[in-house]
Amino acid sequence: MNNPTLDFFDYAAAIVSVTALFAYANHRWLRLPTSLGVMTISIVAATSILILDSLGVPLLAVASRFVDAIDFDRALMHGALSLLLFAGALQFDFDDLVRQRWTILSLSSIGTLLAAALTGLGCWALLNAAGIGIDIVQAMLLGAIIAPTDAVAAIMALRNSRSDPAFAATVSGESMFNDPAALVLFLLLYEAEFVPGTFAVGDAVGIVVFQVCGGILLGAILGQLGRHVRRHVRDSRVQILATLAIVMGGYDLSTWIDTSGPLAMVTAGLLLNRDFKRVESTSAAPPHDLSLFWEVMDEILNACLFALIGLELIALRPDPRLLILAIAMLPVSLIARYASVRMCLEPMTADAHRQAVALTWAGIRGGVSVALALGLPDSPLREQIVHVVYVSVLFSVLAQGVTLKWVLHKLGYVAT
Q: Which residues contact 313 (CB under 8 A, 6 or more apart)?
A: 43, 46, 47, 50, 390
Q: Where are the domains of the chain?
A: 8-411
Is 83 exposed, middle or buried, given 0-12, 13-18 or 19+ CB atoms closer than 10 A? buried
pLDDT band at 207 (very low <50, low <70, confident <90, very high): confident
The per-residue pLDDT for range 26-35, each reduced to its tens digit, is: 999 998 888 8
The angle formed by the CA atoms of residues 284, 286 and 289, to the nearest 5 degrees, is 135
The Cα 266–Cα 56 span in angstroms is 48
* pLDDT at 3 exceeding the cut of 70: no
For the residues of 300-356, what is the DSSP string, one character each? HHHHHHHHHHHHTHHHH---HHHHHHHHHHHHHHHHHHHHHHHHHHTTT-TTHHHHH
The per-residue pLDDT for range 374-398, each reduced to its tens digit, is: 999 988 889 999 999 999 999 998 8
* pLDDT at 75 exceeding the cut of 70: yes
The mean of the pLDDT values for the chain is 88
The per-residue pLDDT for range 6-20, each reduced to its tens digit, is: 778 888 999 999 999
The per-residue pLDDT for range 264-296, each reduced to its tens digit, is: 999 999 999 887 766 654 544 555 789 899 989
Closest CA to 335 of 119, 68, 159, 162: 119
Compute the average pLDDT of residues 212-229: 94
- The highest-level CATH class for domain 8-411 is mainly alpha
Q: What per-residue confidence (pLDDT) applies to 35?
A: 86
Evaluated on CA atoms 127, 129, 130, 131, the torsion sign reads: positive
Q: What per-residue confidence (pLDDT) applies to 152?
A: 63
* pLDDT at 1 exceeding the cut of 50: no
Closest CA to 37 of 49, 25, 52: 25
The Cα 227–Cα 267 span in angstroms is 12
The Cα 63–Cα 52 span in angstroms is 12
The Cα 326–Cα 304 span in angstroms is 25
Residue ranges in 55-93 assigned as alpha helix (H): 60-68, 72-75, 81-90
Residue ranges in 233-287 assigned as alpha helix (H): 236-257, 261-279
The per-residue pLDDT for range 182-203, each reduced to its tens digit, is: 888 898 899 888 877 665 666 6
The 10 Å CB-count burial string (b at 16+, else e) for 307-339 is bbbbbbbbbbeeeeebeebbeebbebbbebbbb
Q: Taking every pair of C-alpha atoms in the chain, what is the biggest distance, in angstroms?
A: 72
For the residues of 131-156, what is the DSSP string, one character each? T----HHHHHHHHHHHS---HHHHHH
The per-residue pLDDT for range 365-376, each reduced to its tens digit, is: 988 899 999 999
Is 234 exposed, middle or buried, given 0-12, 13-18 or 19+ CB atoms closer than 10 A? exposed
Bridge partner list, 163: 414
pTM of the model: 0.90
Q: Which residues contact 105 (CB under 8 A, 6 or more apart)?
A: 177
User: What's the chain's Rg over C-alpha atoms?
Assistant: 21
The per-residue pLDDT for range 230-243, each reduced to its tens digit, is: 888 889 899 999 99
The Cα 14–Cα 20 span in angstroms is 10
Q: What per-residue confidence (pLDDT) applies to 288?
A: 74
Q: What per-residue confidence (pLDDT) applies to 201?
A: 63
Whether 112 and 148 have beta carbons less than 8 Å apart is answered as yes
Closest CA to 104 of 151, 46, 70, 137: 151
The Cα 337–Cα 116 span in angstroms is 9
Q: Which of 46-55, 149-158, 239-248, 403-412 is least confident?
A: 149-158
The per-residue pLDDT for range 85-137, each reduced to its tens digit, is: 999 888 877 888 889 999 999 999 999 999 999 999 999 999 999 888 899 99
Bridge partner list, 414: 163
Whether 124 and 134 have beta carbons less than 8 Å apart is answered as yes
The per-residue pLDDT for range 132-184, each reduced to its tens digit, is: 889 999 999 999 999 999 866 666 666 666 788 889 889 988 988 888 888 88
